[in-house]
Amino acid sequence: MRRISFHRTTTFRLAAFYLALFTLSVTAVLGVVYWFTAGFITRQTEETVLREVAELRDAWDAGGRIGLLRVVSDRAGDPRTDMIYAVASPNLDILAGNLSRWPADKAVGGWTAFEIRSLREPGPRRPAVAVVLELGKTGWLLVGHEMTERYLLRKQVLSGLFWAVSLALVVGLSGAVLMARRVAFRIEGINQAVDRIAAGAFTDRMPVSGSGDEIDRLVANMNRMLDEIARLMLSMRTVTDNVAHDLRTPLSRLRARLELALIEPDLAPSQRQTLEAALAEIDRLLGVFGAILTIAAAESGRQRADFEPVDLSALAAEVAELYEPVAEERDLRLTVSGTPGAMVRGSRQLLAQLLTNLVENAVKYTPAGGSVVVRAERSPAGAVLSVADTGPGIPADQRDRVLERFVRLEEHRGTPGHGLGLSLVAAVARLHGAELRLDDNAPGLKVSLLFPGG
């Protein structure tokens, strides 16, 4: 099974989703903080300027132009001030204040924004805001405030917001990655255990981390379910084995008695024919029970402990040689091809029975003049064993069904058989971890088994 990419896990996607929500929330909250901070700074500046304007208006009312010029000169001369003062004539000539010249196009009433040189030290032009008032016919009054420090404060707030959001993203994304990796690692362990169980290791169980979370509870419940399934399978397998064994013994005795009866010299032809038919039926039943026991043994996985290196190329040649006389009798061409040394680890007995079933079916259903090809070869993925014929084949929609027990196609019901051959092949393939494929041979059927790591 392909390994899960952690960024495609549900945990990572949920963590990323909540991280996005968290980031949006933090951005919104910090944006509101910035908006209120910027508003507070602006209001504070406006209140300071308006307070100065009110005081200078009082000076104008009390002392006239001379009194205003004196107050403005005093305040503008304070080296600690951030305030901007200017009294100008109607022609905008500076009469008093700390501006060297009147800002261009600022001879209007109300608030205005402009740039000035620093009041304390030389440098680039800096932003400022001011209120411009008309002093009747005698000139203009400008009261403002340099905005450099307030703009720097805004910049610092924005920088803090940026780094806070960035830190939240980094920490949140790191947490999402760690959570996703942890969960993906646990899920991968569960998937590997499931793969082993599906491959026949029925005693294996899914790992429990011990954290007691919902995944552990789910795994524990699934392990209990597997225990119950294993118990039921063992019970069913035991019953099947016992029934098959118990029935094979009396059938074998009955067969022996029929064979003894057949050697009697004074049997009538009709009696001999009846005994031979009964003997053939007993052989068919014994074949059914033998196939059932073989399937049960393969599905139990007990023989996996006795696996040994098996040369599929040599095995294919042996089985083909065994069926060569039958193929010649049916006017069929039976050939073996492939590469030597196609090795797998497995049960030679079961693999021989698997190949025997496939070749027997191919020879049985291929019409005269046809061909059967047995092929064993090595491939980059493992070893491949296949049997291809030019018979009637199996319809694509029936290929999964014929792997079930006691299933026979309608057109084959008139031929000898019990519907367990391909079931046995499927069971042996599962025991060996081989991929079983039934393909169209155009014409005929091609049965292939890919053994991993051959």
User: What pLDDT shows up at residue 24?
Assistant: 84
Asked if 49 and 106 sit in the same domain, the reply is yes
User: Pick the residue with more confidence: 239 or 345?
Assistant: 345
Confidence of residue 106 (pLDDT cuts 50, 70, 90): low
441 and 334 part of one domain: yes
| The total number of structural domains that make up the chain | 3
Q: What value does the mean pLDDT take over residues 179-191?
A: 81
Q: Rounded CA gap, 422 and 447, in Å? A: 10
Per the domain annotation, does 185 fall within a domain? no
307 and 388 within one domain? yes
Q: Which of 107, 133, 152 is the last residue of a domain?
A: 152
Confirm whether 55 is domain-assigned: yes
Inform me whether the pLDDT recorded for 201 exceeds 70. Answer: yes
Residues of the domain holding 380: 303-452
pLDDT of amino acid 382: 87
Residue 5 falls within a domain, yes or no? no
Question: What's residue 446's pLDDT?
Answer: 95
Q: What per-residue confidence (pLDDT) applies to 451?
A: 92
The pLDDT value recorded for residue 166 is: 84
Confidence (pLDDT) at 329 = 93
251, β-bridge pairs: none
Mean pLDDT of 186-196: 86
| pLDDT higher than threshold 80 for residue 213 | yes
Q: Is it the case that residue 223 has pLDDT exceeding 60?
A: yes
Q: Considering 236, 265, 300, which residue would you say is the last residue of a domain?
A: 300
Rounded Cα gap, residues 201 and 189, in angstroms: 15
Indicate if 352 and 266 belong to the same structural domain.
no
Could you tell me which residues come within 8 angstroms of residue 315 by beta carbon, excluding any fewer than 6 positions away?
348, 351, 352, 355, 376
Q: Which of 152, 185, 205 is at the close of a domain?
A: 152
Of 17, 16, 15, 11, nearest to 186 (Cα)?
11
Same domain membership, residue 45 and residue 24: yes
Q: Is residue 100 included in any domain, yes or no? A: yes
Q: Are 270 and 400 part of one and the same domain? A: no
pLDDT in the model for residue 157: 76
433: domain CATH number is: 3.30.565.10
Same domain for 329 and 393: yes
CATH no. for residue 89? 3.30.450
Q: Is 276 left (phi over 0), alpha (psi -120 to 50) or beta?
A: alpha
Contacts of 395 (CB under 8 A, 6+ apart): none
Instruction: Report pLDDT digits (tens) over 238-254.
Output: 777 777 677 778 888 88
Element holding 381 (H helix, E strand): none
Amino acid at 101: R
pLDDT range class, residue 376, cuts 50, 70, 90: very high
- Residue 317 per-residue DSSP state: H
Greatest mean pLDDT range, 135-139, 368-372, 398-402, 405-409: 368-372
Check which CATH number belongs to the domain holding 254 and give it. Answer: 1.10.287.130
**Helix or strand (DSSP H, E) at 415:** none
pLDDT tens profile 275-300:
888 888 888 788 777 777 777 777 76
Mean pLDDT of 397-419: 72
> Which of 6-10, 232-236, 352-356 tops mean pLDDT?
352-356
Q: Is 161 inside a domain boundary?
A: no
The answer to whether residue 424 scores a pLDDT higher than 80 is yes
Q: Decide: 4 and 184 in contact? Cβ < 8 Å.
A: yes
DSSP per-residue letters across 236-251? HHHHHHHHHHHHHHHH
**Do 290 and 340 belong to one domain?**
no
Structure tokens at 56: 């200078």
Q: Is the pLDDT score of 384 beyond 60?
A: yes
Higher-confidence residue: 318 or 279? 318
Say yes or no: 117 and 232 in one domain: no
Average pLDDT of the residues of the chain: 83
Q: Could you report the per-residue pLDDT of 17-70, keeping only the tens digit for each?
A: 877 887 788 788 878 887 887 788 888 888 988 998 888 888 888 888 888 889
- Inter-helix orientation angle 269-300/214-262, to 10°: 160
| 441 and 307 housed in the same domain | yes
What's the whole-number mean pLDDT along residues 300-322? Answer: 87
Residue 179 inside a domain? The answer is no
pLDDT of residue 243: 73
Looking at residue 369, what is its pLDDT? 93
Cis (ω within 30 of 0) for the bond into 443?
A: yes
What pLDDT score was predicted for residue 415? 65
Q: Does some domain include residue 344?
A: yes
Q: pLDDT value at position 417?
A: 63
Tokens of 140: 């203009």
pLDDT band at residue 411 under the 50/70/90 scheme? low
Same domain flag for 326 and 411: yes
Q: Confirm whether 139 is domain-assigned.
A: yes
User: Tokens in use for 299?
Assistant: 């599905």
Question: Which single residue is written with the structure tokens 């006389």?
Answer: 325
Amino acid at 406: F
Total Cβ atoms within 10 A of residue 45: 18
Reported as a pLDDT band with limits 50, 70 and 90, residue 262 is confident
> In 392-431, where do the E strands start and end?
none
Confidence bin at 326 (pLDDT 50/70/90): very high
How would residue 185 be classed by pLDDT, with cut points 50, 70 and 90? confident
Q: How far apart are CA 197 and CA 203, in angstroms?
A: 7
Is the confidence at residue 181, as pLDDT, over 70? yes
Q: How confident is the model at residue 445 (pLDDT cuts 50, 70, 90)?
A: very high
With 90 as the cut, is the pLDDT of residue 323 above it?
Answer: yes
Residue 136 sits in the same domain as residue 52: yes
